[in-house]
A = this chain, B = another copy of it.
Amino acid sequence: MDPIGAPPGPLTPTVGLRPPERSDAARNRELLLTTARRLIEGDGIESLTMDGLAAACGVGKGTIFRRFGSRAGLFQALVDDSERSFQAGFLSGPPPLGPGAPPIERLVAFGRERLRTAAGQIPLLRAAERPAAERYAVPARHLAAAHIRGLLAQAGVEGDAPALAFDLLAILDSVVWLPDEDLTVMLPRIADSWEHIVRRLA
């Protein structure tokens, strides 16, 4: 059930540093991801089945589940690239997203950038949805929450920083579930209201 051999990075803070992937496994991972991308591009996410992907790769279904743990895990892996570059952006990129700008400006930029990133891959993010128990127990989320907490603290925002960080993250996450027809009109407005709320808290 647990995916194994994931590449390292802020997204997956490999604590117990596992032994590296075997070369055939790495090759299959790449093959699966690129093939999945191709199939999705052609027919959409809905119609991608694990059997289908396995067949298209000339691989057994067990291989997919060994690598990614679940259907959702596969899509998570597809999202990881942009997730990592987003993380790099707010951890060490140029201001106002990265260090150097005042904390409130960074927080505003963080929200806007997150919304922009999410908007570009909503079907993928929906398909990467985990069941309840794991949903919030994910490294990427912890990192984002810690970042927000830190900025709130730096800005001297009063109140319960962890709880506020949770609330703010909830706002950013929720756009994934906007009905498609509302997306184009609501996204910029939600970005603006994010800024509004953040500044009000300061």
Contact = CB atoms under 8 A, between A and B. Distances in A.
A192 interface: yes
Interface string A162-173: 111011011101
Contact of A196 (B164, B166, B189): B164
The copy count of this chain in the complex is 2
B192 A136 contact: no
B135 A177 contact: yes
A186 B171 contact: no
Given A159-B196, A174-B174, A166 B179 contact: no
Interface string A183-199: 00010011011101100
A200 interface: yes
A197 to B, nearest CB: 6
Given A170-B170, A174-B173, A197 B164 contact: yes
B132 A177 contact: yes
Which of A136, A163, A178, A192 has the most chain B CB within a 10 Å cutoff? A163
Interface of A: 126, 129, 132-133, 135-137, 159-160, 162-164, 166-167, 169-171, 173-174, 176-180, 182, 186, 189-190, 192-194, 196-197, 200-201
